[in-house]
Structure 1
């Protein structure tokens, strides 16, 4: 009986002690929050939210939000759980009549997570041709785990070897703009789910449209090399020779569909031909190179049909077939002067020559027959430099530029070079008076295809300023129009 009394007393004591601890109530608060994907920040629905110490267990709604009401005040650790994601804990301090905010950023669990499938390139097709310079790339990609995917596209220009990467794409397409004409591109897509290693597609290629009606040719300096460009009437330009080679003085022949040009080959310079797009390069000259007093001021000429070329080698003029055969000497200067420029008439009966001494002066311009017989003089007995030479289709006029200052030095600097025409009937030279600025030179003049205009290079006489290709109407010589900046050695067919 005594033992029962003692047990009853102990129970009463414990009951009173417990009742006194529960009476210490600091109040209740609210916990709100959201669960999102750590990478994409997209909401995660139906994620389980629990706490320690234990309160209520709730689940997020379709937007990833949750609310836990009537949470006793105190320090808690809340947990967010969702299948396929790593569980995340966040601390919270719940106070009386206040709302605590929590954001869970869940990382996708890599356990049993599979990498995306290999992307499938859908457009353009592999080896597609005639693609616009504004082309859309498309592909498809799937992920068995439905992970959000990001893409990276690698694009390589086969002509320049320049590679461009377009990272962090959210959609399976890419709009490309300002591509180069008639250029081959390689492209590849890489897909990532943010968990596994990126997966690469196969590599496709496509080629853009041919350059539209590129009637102009000229050169620009790139890394100390002359590089050939073609351009259309809209001013759109296409590089057609490598920036790693010194290629200059381009001349187009429409009948053969070829462009001739000069390029270095060791210590010599030779004439080459290529297609209008820069392909199918062929060396024309071999045993006798093209040569003169200064290769920046040496030229050559096609015949009309495009199967032969004439060119100088110091004091001699040669004719050669466009395939490199049939080398024949046409003419040799009797006084040892160097032939610098030559133009073959449209009827192929006459050739206009410019000759000079070994530093470019004591210039003579005259016309010989196709067999090498001198016919008449155009210009002689003057001081200063002469450059640029052309003849009209009907042989009625010859055009050239001459430094009227008569200045001569070893650097071949010109101070006041102007455009002149020679009437082959009256044998009179006439200056094409225009609004050329003082201190500037007009150089490398040629007739337009319709003979109504001339194209030429205009530049400061300081010898270091940029060159600009301009044109003038013969009917309105005040109408100077800049066609291309930073360019020289024009040709217009």
Structure 2
């Protein structure tokens, strides 16, 4: 009997083994169907082209225009079904696939835009609306538009109110940006747009401001910026460096500004290649025009040459070695008007405002010495008054009064002469043509300092001039002094030289 039970047990075990193998084979070959629909959450509008995938992996399909999809012959079992479409939040739904049955799923997708908060409208903080006298290098500041976890990008739109030229600075991440070299004296309008790249962009209100102008300024001067001479305009003030505005390019070497009120133009010298040429521009630095081309401005050293407007603005006189030329403000009509008889170099020229026939000239040798300063009558072609000659040392910075009765110049009273034209004790003097008397202008200059670049004020009651220590690479300043001795000395501009009246 025991033997019979053992045999029966073996038979049952074998039967169970084959039975289990048949069940697994049947499961792997059992399939059903998965159907579904995808709509927008809230309004139930169908969504087409939604990507449908499953885990475990089966067939990938896309919804039709009605938002519907079908996966046929999908193996039975439990699945996680995924619905994915750009600009919508990906959704998952469970599905149990039964043999020969149709399983249904429905997806309600949330729009990312609908769930996302729009940025807040930026608030413009600086410059404030209708601000006046804003510096040409403007730092724009606005409030953050952040309203959720999204990153915000800003676009600044800037419009010149005169030309309507629009400049756009796109996709700025910060809430501030600096824009340089805006047009002097012009009104600008600005607006900021914020976007999170999901919702509709939002805009700030429009604000305006005016860039500071030069119309109220009294002076022109030069500064060295990164090795180049650059022309500036500046105003009066007890503390100095008031309303300083750059009016020439940082990319060019421009110097020796001279303003003519009849034409409302500033003439100046600019390096062009290996030569120096005459240019003009408006007082705000616009409308730059080159006057000379074939005959450049030239002398024993370019930093020491000077030119002069005819008082009515109808011509400009300038030196070219031993010759003096006159050119029209449009660059035409160039003609030689004088040549030194001994081959000495003409370094400077000035014209009496009320006597257009009278020129003031400074000549020197190739080293800048053996200086002669004298007046020359154009109509007669003759010298009239010798102001300075037969002296040792450097001299120059000539300026003649309106009616020609006073002549301003500087002279190195040390009498030193050297190969680098270094001055040791330059002082400013006035020569009175009616009496031939020379007086030194009391400027408060100290031992070891040089005064030079003197210019009469329009009223001739004061002068402006440059001052620096007599050491190499000394940093100069521009000062003003009254000729009556009252309120004797005042700093106008630091790190400045070659001044003129605006």
| 1:282 counterpart residue number | 289
- Kindly indicate whether residue 256 of structure 2 is the aligned counterpart of residue 249 of structure 1: yes
- Kindly indicate whether residue 222 of structure 2 is the aligned counterpart of residue 219 of structure 1: yes
Which of 359, 362, 377 is the equivalent residue of 1:369?
A: 377
Distance 1:283 1:354, change over 3 A: same
Unaligned runs of 5+ in 1: 1-84, 86-107
| 1:316 counterpart residue number | 323
Q: Give 1 or 2 for the bigger CA radius of gyration.
A: 2
Deviations 1:126-174 (A, max 9, x none): xx9995529998999999x99999785758899xx9x8999666xxx99
| 1:359 counterpart residue number | 367
| 2:233 counterpart residue number | 230
Distance 1:297 1:115, change over 3 A: farther
Offset of 1:295 from its aligned partner?
0.6
Distance 1:211 1:119, change over 3 A: farther
Distance 1:346 1:165, change over 3 A: farther
| 2:472 counterpart residue number | 463
Distance 1:452 1:186, change over 3 A: same
Q: Please give the secondary structure, in 2, of the residue aligned with 1:349.
A: strand
Offset of 1:306 from its aligned partner?
0.8
Distance 1:190 1:213, change over 3 A: same
| 2:497 counterpart residue number | 488
Distance 1:259 1:308, change over 3 A: same
Range 294-303 or range 365-374, more displaced = 365-374
Which of 276, 286, 300 is the equivalent residue of 1:269?
A: 276
Q: What does 1:72-221 align with in structure 2 at a 5 Å threshold?
A: 110=112, 112-114=114-116, 116=118, 132-133=133-134, 152=154, 154=156, 181-182=184-185, 187=190, 189-192=192-195, 196=198, 199=201, 208-221=211-224
Offset of 1:110 from its aligned partner?
4.6
Distance 1:207 1:316, change over 3 A: same
Deviations 1:52-81 (A, max 9, x none): xxxxxxxxxxxxxxxxxxxxxxxxxxxxxx
Q: Distance in 1 between matches of 2:120 and 2:375?
A: 69
Offset of 1:112 from its aligned partner?
3.7
Offset of 1:201 from its aligned partner?
5.9
Q: Distance in 1 between matches of 2:466 and 2:258?
A: 16
Q: Distance in 1 between matches of 2:442 and 2:209?
A: 50
| 1:350 counterpart residue number | 358
CA contact (8 A) 1:271 1:284 kept: yes
Distance 1:351 1:446, change over 3 A: same
| 2:462 counterpart residue number | 453
Distance 1:482 1:284, change over 3 A: same
Offset of 1:444 from its aligned partner?
0.8
- Kindly indicate whether residue 433 of structure 2 is the aligned counterpart of residue 432 of structure 1: no
RMSD: 4.5
CA contact (8 A) 1:290 1:312 kept: yes
Distance 1:165 1:323, change over 3 A: same
TM-score (norm 2): 0.65
Distance 1:333 1:138, change over 3 A: closer
Deviations 1:428-477 (A, max 9, x none): 22222442111000011111111011111000000212110011111117
Deviations 1:262-315 (A, max 9, x none): 001122111000111111111111221111010101000001111210000000
CA contact (8 A) 2:158 2:191 kept: no
Number of corresponding residues? 381
Distance 1:198 1:227, change over 3 A: farther
Q: Distance in 2 between matches of 1:291 and 1:394?
A: 28
Q: Please give the secondary structure, in 1, of the residue aligned with 2:115.
A: coil
| 1:293 counterpart residue number | 300
Q: Please give the secondary structure, in 2, of the residue aligned with 1:296.
A: helix
Q: Distance in 2 between matches of 1:164 and 1:479?
A: 53
Offset of 1:181 from its aligned partner?
4.5
CA contact (8 A) 1:250 1:491 kept: yes
Distance 1:406 1:186, change over 3 A: farther
Q: Please give the secondary structure, in 1, of the residue aligned with 2:292.
A: coil
CA contact (8 A) 2:117 2:148 kept: no
Q: Distance in 1 between matches of 2:158 and 2:145?
A: 25
- Kindly indicate whether residue 450 of structure 2 is the aligned counterpart of residue 441 of structure 1: yes
Q: Distance in 1 between matches of 2:183 and 2:465?
A: 26
CA contact (8 A) 1:434 1:478 kept: no
Offset of 1:395 from its aligned partner?
1.4
Q: Distance in 2 between matches of 1:187 and 1:306?
A: 39
CA contact (8 A) 1:315 1:332 kept: yes
Offset of 1:486 from its aligned partner?
0.2
Distance 1:375 1:133, change over 3 A: same
CA contact (8 A) 2:131 2:208 kept: no
Offset of 1:187 from its aligned partner?
4.8
| 1:397 counterpart residue number | 406
